[in-house]
Amino acid sequence: MKRALSLLSITLCMTVLFIACKKNKDGEPNHELVNRWQEKLSGGFTRTLIFSSDGKFSMEFAGGDENSVVNGKYIVNGNSLKVNLTESLSKLGTSNVVRTKIDYELFEKGTYKIEGSVLIIQYISYPADAPVQTETEYTLTK
């Protein structure tokens, strides 16, 4: 009986260690990315990126009378970042929140790196109908 309990305890400990040490597979949320990251924009506006451990993504815009949020999901593969937005919530002043379904890829051909408390995302943007390599930086927030 003692031997059976010892074997059970060892098996349980090994299972817990195996699960705790399991590496992220491609496509699973990257835990170094899981957090709130903020970019300060001109005019007192802020843009906050929120990466959740369950693969959910939100981007909040705040400033003045306008507040909006877009929600979706994200996937990482190495340093590649793919974000698909599925819903937009916007509110102007005291008006009701307007919910809109969307289907949009954010950060086209995106890659990321984290240096200290700064998230750097590189992606393709189209400011004047021509692709431009763009880089934005977001600071870790609480």
Distance (Å, rounded) from C-alpha 108 to C-alpha 122?
A: 9
pLDDT value for 97:
87
Residue 12 phi, psi (nearest 5) = -65, -45
**In a 10 Å sphere around its CB, with 0-12 CB exposed, 13-18 middle and 19+ buried, how is residue 97 labelled?**
exposed
pTM, entire model: 0.74
Model confidence at 29, in pLDDT bands (50, 70, 90)?
Answer: low
Residues 99-121: tens digit of each pLDDT:
999 999 999 999 999 999 999 99
Classify strands 98-115 and 80-92 as parallel, antiparallel or unpaired.
antiparallel
Question: What would the mean pLDDT of 77-93 be, rounded to a whole number?
Answer: 91
Residue 15 has pLDDT above 60, yes or no: no
